[in-house]
């Protein structure tokens, strides 16, 4: 009974229902290569969603992470090209640190000036994107110039299958990175003091302060981690699509926030889980990708995502109000 | 004597306005010093009066949403959808005569449709926020996406080009030597200022924003007032959409996307408290003027649009810091 009442169970149920529905409309949905490509599409949004989950749990909101992701990605690749460096670990580390530094700016403004996170992150987002496109450059770095090590790394498959016609497809190993990061986030949220303090901050900042939580440390941690995850995901993304586009990720913030809210995180803070978020991410990616195989015109994508956001937030608001009553 | 008193009371009531005026003069002086021959041309100021109203109306809309501690992230989507729906109507109704010569009735119908779109969109936002209890940020983020999405569905992506001449007059005509959009803006701004400071709706909104709980206990109809405020926001956004489509003679789903950030920035800069309870049309107007001077100055200095975006963002953060600093010393 307790299991039934958990929001994760509900989301999983809806997810299964949606899968059956899509599978009935077009059986191609259940083909292994479609499922593999679905999981592949989960990776980048999923990693970013972990950061957004943390921010939402603390009662904040972050719309700057796509800008951070694209800046960390583009700057790192530009740097690699300039230095003639070809590798995986150091660039990923550099992108992560860059994201972290950007995130620290958010943390600084949110903590120091007690400003609404939405407005702060709108500002940092505009600054970072403006700087990237206005100073660093607007040209794409194509496959012929992309560092080969990154592409080879992102091309690793866990399993690979050969189809009857000789083409092969596989499940990208990047899924493992996503799962690893998700597990880490789960452990941090559940079992560490800093993770609990994020929940406390989201539940009631004043109560958290009086209970002795260090709000400064918590806020900086939250926004730094969100930025770091975005930076990491950004570089990984360019490896996976073999392209570094400084105009990438526009509008991605809505998709990710929608996924996290869909996964049961409360928009008022204090509630949310990694498992729910992963389910929410899967649901969103699945619906978006399946519009094509359900033969819905792609121009409807934005409308569908918007409606999902509204429905998910309405449900979560309704749930939270009922709980409060 | 009496006007002097008025000015003094104005200063006492809100030294934010004075600070804004000082900033505007400062920007003006710096830009004049940097490129006196180009910045001071009449043409420069005239072109500002054409671009200023769109952003000004969106900023006033944003300010009204902020009065109750909310925000409206769907304003740009509403503006574009309004323009596009009117455009679709004109293309459907255009006979052999062509779109440019569409009759006054057609144009009026287009106006009603555009304003109706804004009203409907605002009502949806308001109902989602008051009835379903969704936070304004997420509700309007979602509806904004839906409105932009509908605009894409209607146009299939590319812009709808070609509006009736009478419609274009609203965006780039002249009344008594002044830009029509500027005149429209002035009339609407005075109207909104009156509504906010002299009517029950305005006072109620301020009270609700200042202290929601006290307003509730005082028996104010919070839900209805907030709903009205979002309806008003939607209508203002659609007026901005009308002016935008009239000025550019086109409507597209992704026009003016950078206006969103700028509207938030102007609202905050103009002395609106994003947590609710404080905001004036006068403050917004001066803030828009200041930022228009700033960005036209940078354009004359040949800064790219991306760099101007960067500067807007930096300005927003700077204003936040200054406001926080001011509140601390007080």
3-class secondary structure for A77-91? HHHHHHHCCCCCHHH
Q: Which two tokens stand for residue A127?
A: 């600054």
Q: A176: domain range?
A: 36-250
Given an 8 Å threshold on Cβ–Cβ distance, is B145 in contact with A113?
no
Given an 8 Å threshold on Cβ–Cβ distance, is A116 in contact with B275?
yes
CA B142/CA B125 separation, integer angstroms: 10
Given an 8 Å threshold on Cβ–Cβ distance, is A305 in contact with B148?
no
Q: Which pLDDT belongs to residue A1?
A: 46
Q: Assess contact for A267 and B140: CB atoms under 8 A.
A: no
CA A91/CA A154 separation, integer angstroms: 13
To the nearest 10 degrees (0 to 180), the angle between helices A65-83 and A215-241 is 60
> Which residues touch B111 (CB under 8 Å, ≥6 apart)?
B86, B242
To the nearest 10 degrees (0 to 180), the angle between helices A252-262 and A301-324 is 40
B48-87 residues touching A, CB cutoff 8 A: 71
> Which residues touch A146 (CB under 8 Å, ≥6 apart)?
A77, A238, A239, A242, A243, A244
Q: Assess contact for B261 and B75: CB atoms under 8 A.
A: no
In a domain, A205, yes or no: yes
Cα distance from A31 to chain B (closest Cα, Å)? 30
pLDDT tens-digit map of B249-270: 888 888 877 788 888 888 888 8
Question: What is the Cβ-side half-sphere exposure of residue A154, based on CA atoms within 13 angstroms?
Answer: 23
Per-state percent for chain B, helix, strand, coil, to nearest 5: 75, 0, 20
Q: Assess contact for B138 and A311: CB atoms under 8 A.
A: no
Q: Which pLDDT belongs to residue A305?
A: 82
Chain A interface mutation, best of B310, B312, B324, highest count of A Cβ atoms under 10 Å: B310
Q: Assess contact for A292 and A310: CB atoms under 8 A.
A: no
Q: Is B314 on the interface with A (CB under 8 A)?
A: yes
Low-confidence ranges of chain B (pLDDT < 70): 1-15, 95-102, 327-330
Given an 8 Å threshold on Cβ–Cβ distance, is B149 in contact with A302?
yes
Cα distance from A141 to chain B (closest Cα, Å)? 19
Q: Is B153 on the interface with A (CB under 8 A)?
A: yes
Radius of gyration of chain A (CA): 20
Q: Which pLDDT belongs to residue A224?
A: 96
Given an 8 Å threshold on Cβ–Cβ distance, is A309 in contact with B321?
no
Q: Which pLDDT belongs to residue B99?
A: 66
Residue with structure tokens 């990984």? A236
CA B142/CA A196 separation, integer angstroms: 30
In a domain, A28, yes or no: no
A42-61 residues touching B, CB cutoff 8 A: 61
CA A130/CA A135 separation, integer angstroms: 8
Q: Which two tokens stand for residue A166?
A: 């000789």
A chain contacts of residue B305, beta-carbon cutoff 8 Å: 134
Q: Is B308 on the interface with A (CB under 8 A)?
A: yes
Torsion sign over Cα A81, A86, A88, A93: negative
Q: Which pLDDT belongs to residue B277?
A: 78
In a domain, A311, yes or no: no
Residue A14 to residues A8, A29, A275, B320, Cα–Cα distance (Å): 10, 17, 15, 42
Q: Which two tokens stand for residue B70?
A: 């909310």
Q: Is B266 on the interface with A (CB under 8 A)?
A: no
In a domain, A175, yes or no: yes
Helix (H, G, I), strand (E, B) or coil at B273: coil
Backbone angles phi and psi of A170, in degrees to 5:
-155, 175
- Planar angle of CA A131, B271, B132, nearest 5 degrees: 85
Cα distance from B2 to chain A (closest Cα, Å)? 39
Q: Which pLDDT belongs to residue B21?
A: 86
A189-218 residues touching B, CB cutoff 8 A: none
Write down the domain spans for chain B: 53-289
Instruction: Provide the domain count of chain A.
Output: 1
Q: Is B136 on the interface with A (CB under 8 A)?
A: no
Q: Which pLDDT belongs to residue A323?
A: 66
Instruction: Count the Cβ atoms, other than its own, within 10 Å of residue A4.
Output: 8
Which residue from B142, B274, B323 is facing A310, i.e. has the nearest CB?
B142
Q: Which two tokens stand for residue B295?
A: 């960005």
Nearest in space to B244 (alpha carbons), one of B172, B193, B187: B172
Q: Which pLDDT belongs to residue B330?
A: 46
Instruction: Count the Cβ atoms, other than its own, within 10 Å of residue B329.
Output: 5
Q: Is B129 on the interface with A (CB under 8 A)?
A: no
Residue with structure tokens 């960067």? B310
Cα distance from B156 to chain A (closest Cα, Å)? 7
Q: Maximum distance among all alpha carbons in chain A?
A: 66
Which residue from A109, A138, A299 is facing B156, i.e. has the nearest CB?
A299
Q: Which pLDDT belongs to residue B308?
A: 85
Q: Which pLDDT belongs to residue A191?
A: 93
CA B111/CA B322 separation, integer angstroms: 41
Cα distance from A204 to chain B (closest Cα, Å)? 17
In a domain, A76, yes or no: yes
- Alpha-helical (H) ranges within chain A are 2-5, 7-25, 32-57, 65-83, 89-112, 117-131, 148-155, 174-191, 193-203, 205-210, 215-241, 252-262, 274-293, 301-324
In a domain, A266, yes or no: no
Q: Is B157 on the interface with A (CB under 8 A)?
A: yes
In a domain, A12, yes or no: no
In a domain, A236, yes or no: yes
Cα distance from B105 to chain A (closest Cα, Å)? 32
- What pLDDT tens digit does each residue of chain A (325 aa) get? 455 566 778 888 888 988 898 888 888 888 888 888 899 999 999 999 999 999 999 988 898 999 999 999 999 999 999 998 888 899 999 999 999 999 999 999 999 888 888 889 989 998 999 999 988 888 888 888 888 888 888 888 877 777 777 777 778 888 999 999 999 999 999 999 999 999 999 888 889 889 888 889 999 999 999 999 999 999 999 989 888 888 888 878 888 988 898 888 877 778 889 999 999 999 889 888 888 777 778 788 888 888 888 888 888 777 777 766 5
CA B184/CA B164 separation, integer angstroms: 18
Chain B interface mutation, best of A302, A308, A323, highest count of B Cβ atoms under 10 Å: A302
Residue A285 to residues A297, B21, B234, Cα–Cα distance (Å): 16, 49, 31
Q: Which pLDDT belongs to residue A282?
A: 92
CA A289/CA A28 separation, integer angstroms: 12
Given an 8 Å threshold on Cβ–Cβ distance, is B143 in contact with A306?
yes
Given an 8 Å threshold on Cβ–Cβ distance, is B274 in contact with A306?
no
Q: Assess contact for B82 and B246: CB atoms under 8 A.
A: no
DSSP-assigned letters across all residues of B72-139: -TTHHHHHHHHHHHHHHHHHHH--TT-STT--HHHHHHHHHHHHHHHHHHHHHHHHHHHTS---HHHH
Q: Assess contact for B82 and B237: CB atoms under 8 A.
A: yes
Q: Is A30 on the interface with B (CB under 8 A)?
A: no
């Amino acid at each position: 009974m307790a299991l039934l009442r958990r929001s994760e169970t509900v989301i999983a149920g809806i997810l299964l229902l949606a899968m059956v529905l899509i599978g009935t409309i077009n059986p191609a949905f259940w083909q292994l290569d479609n499922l593999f490509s679905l999981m592949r599409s989960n990776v980048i949004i999923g990693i970013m969603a972990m950061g957004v989950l943390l921010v939402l749990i603390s009662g904040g909101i972050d719309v700057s992470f796509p800008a951070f992701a694209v800046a960390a990605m583009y700057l790192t690749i530009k740097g690699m090209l300039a230095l003639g460096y070809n590798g995986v670990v150091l660039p990923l580390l550099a992108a992560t640190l860059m994201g972290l530094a950007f995130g620290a700016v958010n943390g600084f403004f949110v903590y120091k000036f007690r400003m609404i996170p939405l407005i702060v992150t709108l500002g940092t987002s505009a600054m970072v994107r403006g700087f990237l496109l206005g100073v660093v450059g607007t040209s794409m770095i194509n496959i012929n110039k992309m560092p080969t090590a990154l592409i080879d790394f992102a091309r690793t498959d866990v399993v690979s299958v050969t189809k009857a016609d000789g083409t092969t497809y596989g499940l990208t190993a990047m899924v493992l990175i996503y799962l690893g990061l998700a597990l880490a986030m789960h452990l941090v949220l559940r079992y560490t003091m800093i993770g609990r303090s994020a929940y406390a901050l989201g539940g009631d900042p004043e109560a958290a302060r009086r209970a002795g939580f260090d709000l400064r440390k918590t806020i900086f941690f939250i926004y730094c981690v969100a930025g770091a995850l975005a930076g990491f995901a950004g570089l990984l993304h360019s490896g996976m699509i073999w392209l570094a586009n400084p105009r990438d990720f526009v509008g991605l913030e809505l998709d990710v926030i929608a996924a996290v809210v869909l996964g049961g995180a409360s928009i008022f803070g204090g509630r949310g889980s990694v498992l729910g978020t992963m389910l929410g991410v899967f649901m969103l990616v699945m619906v978006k990708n399946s519009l094509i195989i359900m033969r819905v015109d792609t121009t409807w994508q934005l409308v569908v995502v918007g409606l999902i956001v509204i429905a998910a937030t309405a449900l979560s608001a309704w749930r939270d109000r009922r709980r409060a009553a | 004597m009496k006007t002097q008193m008025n000015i003094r009371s104005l200063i006492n009531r809100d030294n934010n306005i004075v600070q804004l005026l000082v900033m505007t003069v400062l920007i003006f002086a710096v830009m004049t010093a940097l490129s006196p021959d180009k910045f001071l041309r009449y043409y420069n100021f005239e072109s500002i009066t054409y671009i200023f109203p769109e952003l000004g109306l969106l900023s006033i809309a944003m300010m009204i949403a902020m009065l109750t501690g909310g925000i409206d992230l769907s304003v740009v989507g509403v503006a574009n959808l309004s323009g596009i729906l009117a455009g679709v109507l004109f293309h459907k109704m255009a006979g052999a005569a062509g779109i440019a010569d569409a009759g006054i009735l057609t144009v009026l119908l287009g106006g009603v449709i555009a304003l109706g779109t804004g009203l409907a969109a605002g009502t949806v936002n308001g109902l989602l926020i008051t009835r379903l209890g969704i936070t304004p940020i997420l509700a309007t983020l979602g509806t904004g996406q839906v409105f932009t999405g509908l605009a894409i569905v209607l146009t299939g992506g590319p812009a709808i080009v070609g509006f009736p001449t009478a419609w274009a007059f609203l965006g780039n005509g002249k009344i008594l030597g002044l830009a029509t959009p500027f005149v429209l803006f002035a009339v609407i701004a005075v109207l909104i200022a009156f509504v906010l400071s002299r009517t029950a709706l305005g006072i109620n909104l301020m009270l609700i924003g200042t202290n929601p709980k006290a307003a509730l206990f005082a028996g104010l109809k919070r839900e209805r007032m907030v709903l009205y405020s979002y309806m008003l926001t939607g209508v203002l956004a659609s007026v901005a959409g009308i002016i935008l489509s009239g000025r550019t003679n086109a409507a597209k789903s992704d026009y003016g996307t950078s206006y969103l950030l700028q509207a938030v920035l102007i609202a905050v800069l103009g002395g609106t408290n994003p947590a609710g309870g404080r905001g004036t049309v006068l403050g917004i107007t001066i803030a828009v003027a200041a930022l228009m001077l700033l960005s036209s100055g940078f354009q004359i200095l040949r800064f790219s649009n991306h760099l101007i975006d960067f500067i807007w963002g930096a300005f927003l953060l700077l204003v936040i810091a200054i406001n926080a600093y001011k509140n601390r010393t007080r």
